[in-house]
């Protein structure tokens, strides 16, 4: 398999560097963490935007292995194409990454709007504002996993 990379939009690079660049004032500890946050935001707001021109330095997909990052990429693909379970095949990883990248781009657009509207706020305050917004919008549903597993026949 080739060295697959997760791309980010070139037109949003100044904001990406502001939020996750290699400096003390960054809001996110890594580019990967920013992209994950942006993808979740993009999905929460149903904002999936074609990538357009990508920044030449993509992030190796292997950096998304572990924790829940790879699961997020897979989940977004399933949610986007629920009738195509083959999207989870090893040969379809590029398709899953493409969907993730588009949600990243959508989420970065939303972040960009917040940052420009709240120009006087520090970036970390804007991120907290968006996080609080997402938290309030999250449905409060208690799911009993054992009951769900029984219902699904597991």
DSSP H stretches of helix in 2-152 = 13-20, 31-44, 69-80, 93-117, 123-137, 145-151
CB within 8 Å of 16: residues ≥ 6 apart: 8, 31, 34, 55, 108
Could you tell me whether strands 59-60 and 5-6 are parallel, antiparallel, or unpaired per DSSP bridges? antiparallel
As a whole number of angstroms, the distance between CA 64 and CA 106 comes to 19
Over residues 86-97, mean pLDDT:
95
What is the sign, positive or negative, of the torsion defined by CA atoms of 103, 44, 21, 66? negative
Q: What is the pLDDT of residues 11-36, one digit of tens each?
A: 999 999 988 988 887 888 899 999 99
Q: What is the pLDDT of residues 94-130, one digit of tens each?
A: 999 999 999 999 999 998 888 887 767 777 787 787 7
The alpha-carbon radius of gyration of the chain (Å, integer) is 17
What angle, rounded to 10 degrees, do the helices at 31-44 and 93-117 form?
80
CB within 8 Å of 72: residues ≥ 6 apart: 36, 39, 40, 100
- The domain containing residue 20 runs over which residues? 5-151
As a whole number of angstroms, the distance between CA 84 and CA 115 comes to 37
**pTM score of the predicted model:** 0.81
Per DSSP, the three-state class of 59 is strand
Q: What is the pLDDT of residues 27-71, one digit of tens each?
A: 888 999 999 999 999 998 999 999 999 998 999 998 988 768 889
HSE-CB of 118 using CA atoms within 13 angstroms: 16
Domain count, the chain: 1
Neighbouring CB atoms inside 10 A of 96's CB total 22
């Amino acid at each position: 398999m080739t060295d697959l990379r997760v791309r980010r939009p070139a037109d949003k690079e100044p904001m990406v560097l502001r939020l996750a660049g290699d400096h003390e004032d960054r809001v996110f500890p890594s580019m990967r963490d920013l992209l994950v946050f942006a993808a979740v935001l993009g999905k929460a707001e149903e904002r999936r935007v074609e990538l357009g021109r990508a920044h030449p330095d993509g992030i190796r997909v292997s950096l998304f292995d572990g924790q829940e990052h790879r699961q997020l990429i897979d989940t977004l693909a399933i949610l986007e194409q629920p009738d195509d379970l083959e999207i989870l095949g090893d040969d379809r990883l590029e398709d899953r990454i493409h969907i993730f990248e588009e949600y990243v781009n959508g989420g970065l657009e939303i972040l960009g709007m917040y940052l420009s509207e709240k120009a006087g706020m520090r970036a970390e305050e804007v991120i907290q504002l968006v996080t609080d917004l997402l938290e309030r919008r999250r449905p409060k549903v208690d799911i009993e996993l054992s009951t769900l597993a029984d219902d699904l026949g597991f």
